Structure 1
Amino acid sequence: MSPKLTGGATLAEHKAATREAMIDAFAVLLREVGWQDLKLQEVARSVGVARTAVYNYFPDRTALLLAWSEREMARFMELAERELSDRSDPVDRLQILAKLVLTEFSLQRGAGASVAATLPPGDRAAFFEHVAPLAALVEDLLVHGMDEGVFARADPAVTGQFIMACLETRRTALLAGEKVHTAVEQAVPFVMRALGAPEDRWAAGT
């Protein structure tokens, strides 16, 4: 149902809560019916508002997709920063991040790159802009490892793109039910060997 405006809530807080409820409903429908069959009237029905009320927040379902993607990336980055905060070894940090990314892929049923591929070029570019914080984090980890001498020196931005592409190859299998630890065992050693990381620094963590 639509969030109720109580005596302790301002109009701005009510609008924010309604917007979050719409994104929540969108996420559920994306998992249940998929992008192609997702309708704004179903989002409205789930939240308990008229369909026209949705347009006050999101002009179309693509805007909802972008809002959901942005929120998911913000949530993931908070998780990543929390998990990495007490780690200093660049090899350890990159392994942890790779595991987090693969775990996230396993949870994103009905979403992700397969949806983005159906969008017009402009909307697709906006969708992938939300990945920029993760790309920056990977690049920072690579620079750290290169500076420490445990990763081979290379363009960190391009190397980061290769690493994310490698992890992306496991998305379909994970969504089909592959265990995360299996994906980790397949992808992480390949990434570490490609980076030239000493095996005794990463083998025990896979």
Structure 2
Amino acid sequence: MPKLTGGATTAEHKIATREAMLDAFIRELHEQGWQNVKLQTVAQAAGVSRTAVYNYFPDKSALLLAWSTREMDRFLLLAERELADRENPVDRIEILVKLTLVEFSLQRFTGIALVELLSAQDRESFLEHIVPLSVLVEQLVQEGVDAGVFVDSDAAASAQLILACVESRRPMLMAGDRVDTVVATTVPFIMRALGVSWPTSLTADPTDRPAHDR
């Protein structure tokens, strides 16, 4: 294990070591591809022993699950911050859709594409980390329905359809399509599906990038 830096507690050191392993894993995944990722090279890239990696993650599937969970947690915190001062349901759905599309544009690979390579148990665990995003979208849809802004519908089903629509935009964003172009076609489609006339002066300019990406 790396030596403790000045002022670092053991707990802080463990967190930093785990983070270094996850960062090393994603670099190896980008450079080598899933089939060629080895815990030994992840350990070398993170500056730890292979035994140290095994103390945290038994295999590369566990690394993928941990990395995906970390990224989802980070994204949800960002979304919470961006949505905090917005009350209009249309604004809130638009912002979340835009945040998600920007996130896709920054990714060099998708964990979703790897899910079929995982065992059934690991696949289930991987998909569970997406649930909080689905819950958030459902909550935003229900807010709009309750406010009479969105057409009355099953919020859970609407959330699934919205996420499927947004997910379908991921490949083109990862291929380099402009975010504002994708936003300009995706947001109106989702809004109209929710029963919102679009464009509307109640919402922000749909070509604006979220604050974290400016």
Q: TM-score, normalised by structure 1?
A: 0.93
Aligned pair count reads 205
Which aligned pairs between 1:16-165 and structure 2 lie closer than 5 A? Answer: 16-165=15-164
The match for 1:10 is 9
- C-alpha change, 1:5 and 1:16, in structure 2 (3 Å) is same
Structure 2 gap segments, 5+ residues each: 207-214
1:7 positional shift: 5.1
Range 110-119 or range 38-47, more displaced: 110-119
Question: 2-side partners of 1:186 and 1:7: how far apart?
Answer: 51
Q: Report sequence identity in percent.
A: 59
Structure-2 separation of matches of 1:187 and 1:112:
22
Report SS of the residue matched to 1:55.
helix
Task: Please name the residue that 2:209 is paired with.
Answer: none
What secondary structure, in the 3-state scheme, does the structure 2 residue paired with 1:32 have?
Answer: helix
- 1:3–1:149: structure 2 CA closer, same or farther, 3 Å change rule? farther
Mapped contact 2:4–2:10 kept (Cα < 8 A): yes
Question: Secondary structure at the residue paired with 1:128?
Answer: helix
Partner of 2:205: 205
Q: Which residue of 2 aligns with 1:193?
A: 192
For the residues of structure 2 that align with 1:147 and 1:136, how far apart are their CA atoms? 16
Deviates more, 1:111-120 or 1:124-133: 111-120
Q: 1:46 to 1:156 in 2, by over 3 A?
A: same
| TM-score, structure 2 normalization | 0.90
Report the residue type matching 1:195 in the other structure. L
- AA partner of residue 63 (structure 1): A
CA distance in 1, matches of 2:100, 2:2: 32
**1:126 positional shift:** 0.7
Q: State the one-letter code of the partner of 1:140.
A: Q
2:177 maps to: 178
Q: For structure 1, which runs of at least 5 residues remain unmatched after alignment?
A: none
Q: How many angstroms apart in 2 are the aligned matches of 1:147 and 1:96?
A: 19
| Cα distance in structure 2, aligned partners of 1:79 and 1:188 | 19
Q: Could you tell me how far 1:198 is from its partner in structure 2? A: 2.3
Cα displacement string for residues 52-108 of structure 1 (whole angstroms, at most 9, x for unaligned residues)? 221011000011111101110110011101111111110011011001001111122
